[in-house]
Amino acid sequence: MSDSGAGRSTAVRARVAARLLAVLGCVVTAKAQLTGVLDDCLCDIESIDDFNTFKIFPKIQKLQERDYFRYYKVNLKRPCPFWADDGHCSIKDCHVEPCPESKIPVGIKAGSSNKYSKEANNSKELEDCEQANKLGAVNSTLSNQSKEAFIDWARYDDSQDHFCELDDERSPDAQYVDLLLNPERYTGYKGPSAWRVWNSIYEENCFKPRSVYRPLNPLAPSRGGDDGESFYTWLEGLCLEKRVFYKLISGLHASINLHLCANYLLEETWGKPCWGPNVKEFTRRFDPVETKGEGPRRLKNLYFLYLIELRALSKVAPYFERSVVDLYTGNGQEDAESKALLLDIFRDTKSFHMHFDEKSMFAGDKKGAKSLKEEFRLHFKNISRIMDCVGCDKCRLWGKLQTQGLGTALKILFSEKEIQSLPENSPSKGFQLTRQEIVALVNAFGRLSTSIKELQNFKVLLQQTR
């Protein structure tokens, strides 16, 4: 390339970086310019960044390293219920390496068993599975006094409260996956198969008529000069609950895109991959010009989703604060440390002063509110089923986990009365969470916390590009 060509290329990169920095400056320092409840709670996004960076992010990272939260049982072989299977991705980075059940700590495998073996928890098998990752992880579950009650819980059918289609953990196709050894990152899975999944989510489950076209939909016909104005005019005309639903899905999509940009396969030398942040990919997905203004909206929806899940964690704290819930590992000191860390995070979430107010949702007449809430729940449950249509196993794993985490957060937000009435010294059938839901909730929020942190990292990289 000539010197003049190189100069032009550098100038273009600098202009793009300046545009994105302007967007990030708006997102980071200004009041959130979102409609509905986010505006109503006057959420200062700079405060969210500081709160996440200095309080939440370091602690949630440590919590995700514990055995209870790193091993997730999932069925990646469930057939797509909506269209013929495209066939699974053959790219090697799409593959998920399951952890053999013999190497899972016995307390996690046993579930509702009445017997726990300290020797099994400290076995050599666990060391093999960790592959020399000395993370100080511990196994967490209920105390011995709760084992019989836990069996009773398993018999309780709370499907009416679920916002997600849960995997049957007893299925022979369900396998334990070590989330730390199968991190979410860019695998190369893209194109029509990936588009169809997101298109189905947005077009068929976000309360949108087919006559209204979503911006940047690669499967929709060209709309000429309409850069999304008609879509957002339609969106603002919806009731609060349906606007919230769309923003949650958009925020989840933005968060996943950020993870892929931040953990991108940059090069592969001698069979050793090098993963890291890809500024060009971040620009393609979030630059206001390249996305016709969609990038900034998506980033704001990411913050909105963060607030929703943050609120859920603060609301569910009483469930775990009870003495009947003991994060059992077989090691008294580790048990105490694990519960202390979890409760410390809950204290931080409750100290945040700009929470989302879920009471403004489903607040109309009782009959109408109940019908709308059920419609909301079923739409989200359908999205969780669409995750079984993702062709890349690693993308499917993290899509299912993060969708289930958000579904669990919604279940918590709309179960406030049941949580407040939980007895201190005995389990209650009024509200319960399975281990699968707890793992998904913590890891999904951990992913959002990471997204907010990565957004700050990209801001630094863009400043260096100018």
Q: Residues within the annotated binding site for FAD?
A: 185, 187, 198, 250, 253, 285
* Residue 172, SS3 per DSSP: coil
Active site residue 99: no
Question: If DSSP states are collapsed to H, E and C, what string results for 300-330?
Answer: HHHHHHHHHHHHHHHHHHHHHHCCCCCCCCC
- Check if the beta carbon of residue 462 is closer than 8 Å to that of residue 20: yes
| Annotated active-site residue in 94, 99, 261, 395 | 395
- Check if the beta carbon of residue 73 is closer than 8 Å to that of residue 175: yes
Tokens 């009959």 — which residue? 367
Q: How many CB atoms lie within 10 A of CB 166?
A: 18
Instruction: Please state the residue numbers annotated as binding site.
Output: 185, 187, 198, 250, 253, 285
CA angle 218, 189, 27 (to 5 degrees): 65
Q: Is 300 left (phi over 0), alpha (psi -120 to 50) or beta?
A: alpha
> Within 13 A of 130's CA, how many CA atoms are on the CB side?
19
Active site residue 164: no
Rounded to the nearest 10 degrees, what angle do helices 240-262 and 294-321 cross at? 100
> Within 13 A of 60's CA, how many CA atoms are on the CB side?
28
CA distance 356 to 195: 31
Q: Which residues are the active-site residues? A: 392, 395
